């Protein structure tokens, strides 16, 4: 690494990229400043105090730290209530809480941003084993409206909203799809459109990877529920595990009753010593998301420099931390992920290989030399082994790490003769 960053040719390349992306970097700093102030104000309004970091055990009744943390989240998201728990095992679990909390037999879930994220196929029941309790097994139906040139097909959405359409699903981030992510402004327009047709429909947003990339969150433009993972943006790289559900109080309560049990809801759940890192991670999150955004923009600039197609481009405004690059071959995708792993602070000696990861239909290769297992607010790269072999890069606790890792990944593609 040291050799690479001292090499004049690579220094010149890095300087050229940074000149090209200077406006973007400046704009990211503005977003970080705004969101840092927003989070700080919520901490102060809720009078976060030292004793909130103490741990609860057993049932976890009256955990003042947990209750304050949830009010801080609610305030930052401009929502009525929040459920923020280490017991939520992943983003998929958080989404499941929202879906099972709201949907009942006979209801329909309509996704208006194309097919949902891969792991949700088993939750919805379009893939996977019978007997696991998918929504389909409970008599909840599902439909989706394919995107039209990367945009919501509003005419088709209008046709598909039926009397039993209980919930509208919006996925903010592209996930493993080659399409633009949806800005908060665009999400606001979607909400207005569907509520015009059916005012009582519940609009939920899969907010994974989107938190703090813009000044507003989806819950501030009319979304009823937003959901995400704490080992992505809002955990700030410190959360050991967890997820959140924010939004309308009655709906958050229903999600809480799924997580625990009816009658208990959010009132139990020992935090087992996690309060301090959840507070501190949330405080750091705006800054860490900024570092990840800068890493993504730098990566886009560099990939464009070597003639690869990127999504979003280095000049685009962002609404999530994901950088996609069309690598075009299996060998390049594997090499790219292995290089990002080799540039990690943890497990840099390990070589990732494609594998059949639970929840995903295709083989996936994942590079994550992270302090928190699977944390993708830490620098990580992955991609499903399928055409057109798109690599996804996300995270970076520090911009400097993102920069050196991406430079070394491209250097090694070159050294292996994998670039044209």
Ligand X SMILES: *Cc1c(COP(=O)(O)O)cnc(C)c1O
Question: Which spans of this chain sit near ligand X (rule: CB under 6 A)?
Answer: 90-92, 117, 119, 171, 173, 175, 206, 208-209, 229
Least Å from the CB of residue 402 to ligand X:
18
Give 30: exposed, middle or buried? Use CB within 10 Å, 0-12, 13-18, 19+. exposed
Task: Output 208 or 324, the one with its CB closest to ligand X.
Answer: 208
Asked whether the CA dihedral 222, 228, 230, 236 is positive or negative, the reply is negative
For the record, the structure tokens of 418 come out as 């994998």
Minimum distance from residue 59 beta carbon to ligand X (Å) = 27
Q: Which is nearer to ligand X, 92 or 268 (CB)?
A: 92
Q: Least separation, in Å, of the C-beta of 48 and ligand X? A: 26
> Least Å distance between CB 376 and ligand X?
7
Cβ-based nearer residue to ligand X, 288 or 342? 288
Phi, psi of 303 (to 5 degrees): -65, -40
**How many residues are listed for the chain in this entry?**
420
CB 359 within 8 A of CB 132: no
Q: Nearer Cβ to ligand X, position 91 or 286?
A: 91
Q: Which is nearer to ligand X, 150 or 305 (CB)?
A: 150
The answer to whether the beta carbons of residues 86 and 69 sit under 8 Å apart is no
In the complex, the smallest distance separating the C-beta of residue 210 from ligand X, rounded to whole angstroms, is: 9
Residue with Cβ nearer ligand X (21 or 205):
205
Give CA–CA dist 399/377, Å, rounded: 12
Q: Cα(34)–Cα(29) distance, rounded to whole angstroms? A: 9
Strand segments, DSSP code E, in 248-340 are 309-311, 322-326
CB-nearer residue toward ligand X: 172 or 294 = 172
Is residue 340 helix, strand or coil? helix
Q: What distances in angstroms separate CA 225 from CA 97, 125, 239, 340, one per listed residue?
A: 11, 22, 22, 34
Query: By Cβ distance, which residue is nearest to ligand X?
Result: 91
CB of 207 to ligand X, least distance (A): 8
**43-51: long-range pairs with CB below 8 Å, 24+:** 43/72, 43/279, 43/283, 45/75, 46/71, 46/72, 46/75, 48/72, 48/279
Of 229 and 341, the one with the shorter C-beta distance to ligand X is 229
Q: State in angstroms the smallest separation of the CB of 206 from ligand X.
A: 5
CB of 253 to ligand X, least distance (A): 23
């Amino acid at each position: 690494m040291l050799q690479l960053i001292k090499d004049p040719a690579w220094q010149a390349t890095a300087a050229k990229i940074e000149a090209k992306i200077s406006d973007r970097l400046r704009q990211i700093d503005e977003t970080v400043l705004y969101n840092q102030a927003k989070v700080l104000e919520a901490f102060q309004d809720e009078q976060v105090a030292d004793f909130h970091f103490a741990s609860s055990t057993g049932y976890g009744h009256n955990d003042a730290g947990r209750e304050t943390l949830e009010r801080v989240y609610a305030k930052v998201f401009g929502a009525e209530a929040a459920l923020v728990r280490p017991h939520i095992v992943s983003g998929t679990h958080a989404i499941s809480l929202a879906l099972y909390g709201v949907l009942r037999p006979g209801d329909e879930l309509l996704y208006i941003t194309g097919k949902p994220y891969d792991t949700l196929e088993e939750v919805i029941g379009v893939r996977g084993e019978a007997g696991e309790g998918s929504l389909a097994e409970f008599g909840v139906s599902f439909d989706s409206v394919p995107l039209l040139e990367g945009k919501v097909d509003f005419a088709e959405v209008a046709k598909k909203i039926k009397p039993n359409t209980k919930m509208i699903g919006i996925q903010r981030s592209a996930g493993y799809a080659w399409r633009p992510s949806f800005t908060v402004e665009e999400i606001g327009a979607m909400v207005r459109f569907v509520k015009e047709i059916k005012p009582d429909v519940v609009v939920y947003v899969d907010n994974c990877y989107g938190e703090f990339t813009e000044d507003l969150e989806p819950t501030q433009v009319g979304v009823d529920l937003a959901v995400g993972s704490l080992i992505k943006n809002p955990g700030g790289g410190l959360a050991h595990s967890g997820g959140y559900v924010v939004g309308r109080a009655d709906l958050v309560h229903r999600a809480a009753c799924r997580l625990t049990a009816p009658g208990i809801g959010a009132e139990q759940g020992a935090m087992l010593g996690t309060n301090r890192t959840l507070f501190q991670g949330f405080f750091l999150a705006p800054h860490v998301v900024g570092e990840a955004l800068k890493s993504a923009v730098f990566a886009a600039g560099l990939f464009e420099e070597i003639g690869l197609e990127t999504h979003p481009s280095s000049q685009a405004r962002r609404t999530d931390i994901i950088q996609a690059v069309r690598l075009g071959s299996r060998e390049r995708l594997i090499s790219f992920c292995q290089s990002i792993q080799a540039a990690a602070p943890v497990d840099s000696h390990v070589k990732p290989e494609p594998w059949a990861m639970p929840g995903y239909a295709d083989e996936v290769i994942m590079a994550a030399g992270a302090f928190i297992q699977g944390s993708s607010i830490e620098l990580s790269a992955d991609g499903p082994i399928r055409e057109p072999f798109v690599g996804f890069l996300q995270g970076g606790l520090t911009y400097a790490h993102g920069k050196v890792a991406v430079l070394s990944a491209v250097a090694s593609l070159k050294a292996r003769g994998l670039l044209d």
